[in-house]
Amino acid sequence: MSGVRDLFFDEFYSELERVAGEIAARRDEEQKPSILADDVRARWIQYAGNGEREGTLISVDGGIQQSDFAYGDFVAAGRAIALIHKPGEGRRMERRVKIYVGQVYEERDKGIIPSYVRTICEYEAAYAAARKILDEGGQPVVLMDGSLYLGRFPYAIREYRHHPELIIDLLESITRMRNFARDKGFPLVGVAKDSSVFFLYMELLKTAVARAGLGNLVKQLDEASSPLDLKGKMENWDEKEWKQMEPWIEKHPLCDPLLVKDSTTTQGYTAPLYLSPSIYYSDNDTMGLYRMADKHLEKDTAVHVKRAIREFFSAPGVAAIYWKPSAKARPFRVDILANLLGRPEAWNSHTRNMFTDPNPNLEKVLNHLNHWFCNEVEYNIPLKQADTLAHFDRDLYRRKYEPFIVHRLEEAGLDVEGKRREKRNFG
Evaluated on CA atoms 274, 280, 285, 290, the torsion sign reads negative
Q: What is the pTM of this model?
A: 0.91
Q: What pLDDT was estimated at residue 425?
A: 43
Mean pLDDT, range 373-402, rounded to an integer? 88
Out of 64-78, 144-158, 225-239, pick the least confident. 144-158
pLDDT bracket for residue 28 (50, 70, 90)? low
| Residues paired with residue 44 on neighbouring β-strands, in sequence order | 270
Mean pLDDT, range 328-352, rounded to an integer? 92
Q: What pLDDT was estimated at residue 1?
A: 45
Q: What pLDDT was estimated at residue 421?
A: 44
Q: What tens digit of pLDDT does each residue of 57-99 get? A: 999 999 999 999 888 899 999 999 999 998 778 789 999 999 9
Q: What pLDDT was estimated at residue 280?
A: 53
Q: Answer whether 75's CB lies under 8 Å from 403's CB.
A: no
In one-letter notation, the amino acid at residue 39 is D
Is the pLDDT confidence value at 102 over 70?
A: yes
pLDDT bracket for residue 351 (50, 70, 90)? confident
Q: Answer whether 66's CB lies under 8 Å from 405's CB.
A: no
* Mean of the per-residue pLDDT values of the chain: 90
Mean pLDDT, range 364-387, rounded to an integer? 85
Q: What tens digit of pLDDT does each residue of 272-306 get? A: 999 988 655 555 567 778 888 899 999 999 999 99
